Chains A and B, each alone.
Chain A
Amino acid sequence: MKKLLSVVMVLGLACTTSLQAEEVNSGGVESLRGSSTLDATKKADEMKRVIKDKNPIARNYVHQPPMIPHQTRGYRVDLNSNKCLTCHGWKYANETGATKISLTHFETRDGKTLSDVSPRRYFCSQCHVTQADAKPLVENTFEPVESLGNE
């Protein structure tokens, strides 16, 4: 009982001393979004806008999953339906003028070819993304290959 009382008293004293201390500047937070101090609220960045509809974007390396040059708002890909395939599937691509999904999408992991889209490639947005007008956060010297149509 006495030990408990003494521990509580020591803790209470410690709290009061820290309350009376001055505010310590911890230096803030540095991140890719710039630096900010802990007590200031940084103004939110402008929302990025997705490219609505534009011509296909040149790829940067062989086997790159092509980027989506149009918006995909509300497009559902689930067990009931796959909206992407209603334009990009081989059935309808001639009618719509959309890029067909490549034959790699019909292959299993073991290299067997199936008669319809392989389950491992069914969920398009795991590899294919829309584009927005966002500047790169980090400078880099990446050069796309020339054979795919880049300068």
Chain B
Amino acid sequence: MTNANNKKGILQYLKSPNSAGLWFILLIGFAGGVIFWGGFNTALEVTNTEEFCISCHEMENNVYEEYRETVHYANRSGVRATCPDCHVPKEWTHKIIRKIAASKEVWGKMTGIIDTPEKFDAHRRSMAEREWKRMKETDSRECRNCHNFEYMDFSEQGNRSVKMHKDALGTGEKTCIDCHKGIAHKLPDMKDVENW
């Protein structure tokens, strides 16, 4: 048979009653796929909550306590950010990449690399630098999830904010994390850190 005949043949097959089994399997598979995807996504989103993050005592006793004293925890308007808002990207591709990289954190938990306050403080600088580097590379993408420079009302901001945002952010010279280090957690030893 020719190619044209084969194509017609497939279409004819799919329209015929013989293919009912195939259609059935296809539909069941599709529904199963939806359910699986939903379940997978739900499980992924569970790991994206503050509750999950502080289920490790390393996080709950150190960075969570520090974060509780900051403006992202409690403020005038009540609009706040929790762990995933700053540390997990919102777009799907970036989020999945981050989630795969987070298996390193599971390993860290198992080996107990920061499971005492002393060990945590010894690693604080390297952990902070990793996060600063990530934010600098993405132009503070996670900050911009909520804080949109284009819609900052300079008539509402204080003198210092207006000046610094215009000069640094407006010109593209700096990004949020360059000045706002320590906005959520205690700073490590800042020796030799730029702009500090």
Contact = CB atoms under 8 A, between A and B. Distances in A.
A66 to B, nearest CB: 15
B182 interface: yes
B71 A74 contact: yes
Contacts of B164: 96
A86 B195 contact: yes
Interface in A41-97: 52-55, 70, 73-74, 76, 79-81, 83, 86-87, 92, 95-97
Given A53-B158, A86-B195, A86-B196, A81 B71 contact: no
Nearest to A75: B182
Contact of A55 (B159, B163, B195): B159
A52 B159 CA distance: 9
B163 A76 contact: no
Contacts, number: 42
A80 B71 contact: no
Contacts of A74: 69-71, 182-183
B159 A53 contact: yes
Nearest to B162: A53
Interface string B110-124: 000000000000000
A55 B167 CA distance: 19
A7 to B, nearest CB: 53
Contacts of B189: 79-81
A76 B190 CA distance: 12
A53 B75 CA distance: 17
B195 A73 contact: no
B34 to A, nearest CB: 46
A138 B18 CA distance: 99
A92 B193 CA distance: 13
A94 to B, nearest CB: 11
Chain A contact residues: over half helix, strand or loop, or mixed? Answer: loop
Interface band, chain A: 10 to 19
B186 interface: yes
B163 A81 contact: no
Contact of B188 (A54, A80, A98): A80
Contacts of A83: 182
Contact of A80 (B159, B161, B163, B190): B190
Contacts of B186: 76, 80
A54 B158 CA distance: 8
Contacts of B190: 80-81
A86 B189 CA distance: 14
B182 A70 contact: no
A80 B186 CA distance: 9
A144 B70 CA distance: 37
27 contacts: A52-B158, A53-B158, A53-B159, A53-B160, A53-B161, A70-B159, A70-B160, A73-B71, A74-B71, A74-B182, A76-B182, A76-B186, A76-B187, A80-B186, A80-B188, A80-B189, A80-B190, A81-B182, A81-B190, A81-B196, A83-B182, A86-B179, A86-B195, A86-B196, A92-B195, A97-B163, A98-B160
The 3 closest A-B pairs by CB, nearest first: A53-B158, A81-B190, A81-B187
Given A55-B159, A76-B186, 4 more contacts: A74-B182, A74-B183, A76-B187, A79-B189
